[in-house]
Structure 1
Amino acid sequence: MRRKPIRLLAAAVAVAAAAAAAFTVRTAFAEPEAERADAAQLSAAETVAAMQPGWNLGNSLDAVGEDETAWGNPRITPELLDSIRAQGFNSIRIPVTWSAHQDEAAPYAIDTAYMDRVEEVVDLALEDGFYVLINIHHDSWQWVNQMPTQHDAVLARYDAAWTQIAAAFADAPPELVFENINEPQFADVSEEEGDALLHELNTSFHEIVRGSGGGNAERLLVIPTLHTSSEQPRLDAAAESIASLDDPMIAATVHNYGFWPFSVNIAGYTTFNDEVRADLEGVFDRVKATFVDKGVPVILGEWGLLGFDKHVGVVEQGEKLKFFEYLGYYAAKTGVTTMWWDNGQHFDRTAHTWKDPELFAHVAGAWEGRSGTAATDLVYVPAGETPAAQTIALQENGLEFTGLSHGDAELAEGTDYTVGADGLTLSADLLARLVGDGGLGERAVLEARFSSGVPWQLHVISSQAPVAQDASGTTAGLDVPVAFNGDQLATMEAVYADGTPAGPANWTPYQEFAVAFEPDYEAGTIALTEAFFAAVNDDSTVNLTFHFWSGKTLEYTVERSGSGVAGSAA
């Protein structure tokens, strides 16, 4: 049975730096149920381990505006939380932005109706069996970042916020976790000065919460690094700050959105290569050595790829899956709990289904162990030609290849395919049968199975060389007509006649996907954006090379004169 919140008026609560200030606060939770009794006995490490895996309810209560629907997500419902719990998540991070609901002057009171709503959502999540993490979220860049020049006012408001939050949730069960601030940052100071300011916030947060009574005396508290960075100097500063608090119920947190060039598809980083993998390993190795090995558990409070916020195709599907599979594996190997960032791009909060079930399968698969992958998930077969056999290198990840199927049909080893030292070879006869004499595009999906984990899909695609046409437009944008002919765009090079890079990324010829250019497969265009032309010299010629996943390239020339642009195919 869902527990009903108990709202009790409390006495006036004094707030640091706000003399004689008073707040009306409530005790939101009844005594923990019997089944939660053991949670109170868990150490910080045991609590963080029990939180694995976690999910972020992003862009809802943290939305900047008057309402949780301000950034396009529907109102949070019990059914949504039930659905997420049913996916296997044991914890939920509920980011909360307080700015629009807190007075900007002393005593910095938080709107009662908003606190009620936060309580309601937290209560629903706790009743679903989640560990729940709440925080101060986008306030970090809205006003907390002004602490260098408005030190006393920012600290007073921050203290007032946590005084009220702590009082409201003092009697919540131990499954509720407090994170003091999301992605802390401070304007116009050095990193070392930022570390010192964050330490001041950490200390104040710790004193307020621990002194607020009830369950807050032993509640797990989560402390971030500056910018939630995993760079060693930031980790060291956070470790020193945590050590100074001398409290066993503290965890550290960092965020990770992958190796940046890969995460946004810039500078030619289109694949999950050794450099991208090494960068990921470095993050976890550093947090393990700095925190985990010294008894401080770590929560990866947000993780994913930045490209999701721009265009679903920024990172190719197979390369994306390899990143997600490996991150889950390596996090488990280093003992780090993960909380997947989802601002609505992954779980459909109306239909309560995954927008990309294959992606979620790999995320969930990593909770249990490894999955086999391959060098690619794309098998391009030239249309109108007799296919040749193709070999795809397997990445078994400690598993064994066990079979290949097409739909419900099991394919025959030795006839349809062979497996050797070079990998999985698809026979010419199989490929001819799969593509047939049909049209361009995806013709079949094969599943390579391994001894455990999620099968690896191979998309068999019939394609021809892409073809572009001449076009004209303005610096507000140019849509280049392209017949993709079954192919898929990987990246774009842009250089001036002298070979120097052209476009917003003037340090590399390979421009950023969905910033400088963006394909529209249904419309049959590649858009060169306003941002691209804003960085292109006037009265200049730019030579473009479009790179496709089949390995084919397409040359195109753009000339800019004033606000006019003209494109011509090679």
Structure 2
Amino acid sequence: MVIKKASFVAAAAMLTSVLGSFPQYDKNVCAAENSMRDMTTMEIVKDMGIGINLGNTMEACGDWIADVDAQWGDGILTVKDYETAWGSPVITKAMIQGMADEGFGVVRVPVAWSNLMGDNYKISEELDARVHEIVDWVIDADMYCIINIHWDNGWVNKFPDDKDECMKRYKVMWEQISDSFKDYGDKLMFESQNEELGWESVWNPWGSTDGKAESYGLVNEINQKFVDVVRNSGGNNPKRHLLISGYNTGFDRTCDPLFKMPDDPANRMAVSVHYYTPAGFAILEDKDESWAKARSTWGTADDFKELNDNMEMMKKGYIDKGIPVIVGEYGCPTKGKEAESVRLFLSSVCRSAYEHGLCPILWSTPDSTADDGTVTKGHYDRTNCKLVDQELKKLFNEISGSEPKETTVTTTTSSVTTTSTTTTTSATTTTVTETTTTVTSIVTSASETATSTVTSTTVVLPAVTVWGDANCDGDVDMSDIVLIMQSLANPNKYGLDGTDEKAITAQGQLNADVDTASKGITSNDAVRIQEFLLHKISSLEPVK
């Protein structure tokens, strides 16, 4: 994603005047892990877990930055001037370690390599050293790192009109990047580009197919050049795992047959896509545009179906064919959004991507300050080095498995007479008591040392344990809304008797049926739970 932050002029100026230049960093002294393990790219991507972007930082760029420095600074542009230009504080090792502590396994570091660039597209040594430092911090924190060419003031947009010069620039830049990082191990991945590969000046996706083949052909050619340059650059690069930018990193456009993965002698590639759907929620804040209407909420059955369909499309188009997929960016603004919907959207996209075998990487930027002084928080707090929404952290950790969820449920029962038969052996067995209501089953386990058959009469009937507790974990939170909507959008997987281990149970359905206006589990139940979490209603117990 590209977000210009002209409103950060004052903040950047203040940082420029207060902070000195970076301490001298010798990239040749780095002790980053340099091994290339015998792992496939699919295994590497799986090992990444879930990730986060260091957004609006090393890719910050703009001609106005020099003007600000001339007016408010010392007139000498440095890497720090760019790094802080879009509102970020100077990145520290503690900020990076905090990302690891929150449970992330990969950090994507977008970079505008043209900042401070010399003649003949010579990358600044100061910038190169600073990127090395950040990459080392990421790897030292036992995370993977992805670096790319990211928008970079938009020069990639000139490819259709000045292909030869742009291809020369692209080649020279990747030759330098590849050579500089060639000794790093497989914890470092190169990404061919951000989302700029694809040009509406050549093909308008909302019009005819005129120019479509030409535009796709140019994208494929650029990605092939990337692979060729890296593979011929020495060090560990002949075996480095590479990330190939999809067509505008769009799901549907990258699944188009015209998009081709490059030829790679090492067969170590993944494809990169971004997820900002629906645009009215994931891109727009609180103002409508001609192409979308701003939304403050997300989480209807249609929303979940759209999400599942998109992830399924990438799975069938790539994962099932042996090609790993990284969702290099997904996210939404917090301004103009209900906090619960933000949490639901981010956790749902992360969960759906992860469960479909894709690696999701959250787009996270620094706090932003509007002209009126209003501060909008990002998703990751770079001051306190943790996610702003700690409930979201819990959901992320549950998804990735970095902190397995431990739950204790206290149940209540009412009386009814049923009969069940239990057979036990010397191994651990399961006792199932079925009730005449057929609402649910109650399962317990016990260890037995002898073989016996027992017929008993019980007095057990499932009753609501906690109203709204769809996943039966003893609490009512956004995860219950997620499960309800997942069960509606994908009943074969998450519905009653669904294939997923976290599918809703009969007890969960009983708990979740909180809306008296509808029969059975519907999106109305999820809406009512959301109202409860927002304190719009005080109780979820249905009024008789």
CA shift in 2, pair 1:182/1:462, >3 Å: same
d(CA) in 2 for partners of 1:214, 1:125:
20
Equivalent residue pairs, number? 368
Q: 1:196 and 2:193 equivalent? A: no
- Secondary structure in structure 1 of the residue aligned to 2:225: helix
**Superimposed CA distance per residue, residues 259-290 of structure 1 (whole angstroms, 9 cap, x where no aligned partner):** 12343376485441122112211221111111
Alignment RMSD? 3.3
Q: 1:89 and 2:108 equivalent? A: no
How does the TM-score come out when normalised to structure 1? 0.59
Aligned with residue 184 of structure 2, among 172, 197, 221:
172
CA shift in 2, pair 1:55/1:371, >3 Å: farther
Corresponding residue of 1:359: 392
State the structure with bigger RCO (CA 8 A, min sep 6), 1 or 2.
2
Corresponding residue of 1:231: 252
Aligned with residue 238 of structure 2, among 217, 226, 233:
217
**Superimposed CA distance per residue, residues 510-539 of structure 1 (whole angstroms, 9 cap, x where no aligned partner):** xxxxxxxxxxxxxxxxxxxxxxxxxxxxxx
Counterpart AA for 2:112 = T
Corresponding residue of 2:337: 315
Larger CA deviation: 51-60 vs 261-270:
261-270
**Superimposed CA distance per residue, residues 143-174 of structure 1 (whole angstroms, 9 cap, x where no aligned partner):** 01101111111111111100000010011121
**Runs of 4+ more than 4 Å apart:** 4-7, 27-31, 232-235, 265-269, 369-372, 392-395, 418-422
Aligned with residue 154 of structure 1, among 166, 170, 179:
166
Q: Which structure dedicates a bigger proportion of its chain to helix?
A: 2
Structure 2, unmatched stretches of 5+, are: 1-23, 63-80, 204-211, 287-291, 367-377, 408-465, 478-507, 517-528, 539-544
Counterpart AA for 1:402 = G
CA shift in 2, pair 1:52/1:457, >3 Å: farther
**Superimposed CA distance per residue, residues 114-166 of structure 1 (whole angstroms, 9 cap, x where no aligned partner):** 11111111112111211110000022x61011011111111111111000000
Corresponding residue of 1:336: 358
**Contact 1:56 1:302 (8 Å CA) reproduced:** yes
d(CA) in 2 for partners of 1:235, 1:136:
24
Aligned with residue 144 of structure 1, among 152, 156, 179:
156
Give the deviation of 1:357 after TM superposition: 2.2
d(CA) in 1 for partners of 2:321, 2:537:
54
**Contact 2:298 2:344 (8 Å CA) reproduced:** no
Identity of matched residues, %: 28
> 5 Å matches for 1:13-412?
32=33, 37=35, 40-65=37-62, 66-103=81-118, 107-139=120-152, 142-184=154-196, 185-186=198-199, 188-190=201-203, 191-232=212-253, 234-238=255-259, 240-242=260-262, 244-245=263-264, 247-263=266-282, 264=284, 267=293, 270-305=297-332, 307-308=333-334, 311=335, 314-344=336-366, 345-368=378-401, 394=468, 396=470, 399-400=471-472, 402=474
Counterpart AA for 1:303 = Y
How does the TM-score come out when normalised to structure 2? 0.61
**Contact 1:29 1:173 (8 Å CA) reproduced:** no
- Secondary structure in structure 1 of the residue aligned to 2:400: coil
**Contact 2:239 2:266 (8 Å CA) reproduced:** no
- Secondary structure in structure 1 of the residue aligned to 2:384: coil
CA shift in 2, pair 1:315/1:255, >3 Å: same
d(CA) in 1 for partners of 2:195, 2:183:
27
**Contact 1:223 1:253 (8 Å CA) reproduced:** yes
d(CA) in 1 for partners of 2:360, 2:100:
15
Give the deviation of 1:348 after TM superposition: 1.5
CA shift in 2, pair 1:31/1:324, >3 Å: closer
Q: Which structure dedicates a bigger proportion of its chain to strand?
A: 1
Give the deviation of 1:194 after TM superposition: 2.3
Give the deviation of 1:316 after TM superposition: 1.8
Structure 1, unmatched stretches of 5+, are: 8-26, 373-391, 406-417, 427-447, 449-454, 464-570
- Secondary structure in structure 1 of the residue aligned to 2:220: helix
Counterpart AA for 1:257 = Y
**Contact 1:51 1:131 (8 Å CA) reproduced:** yes
Corresponding residue of 1:470: none
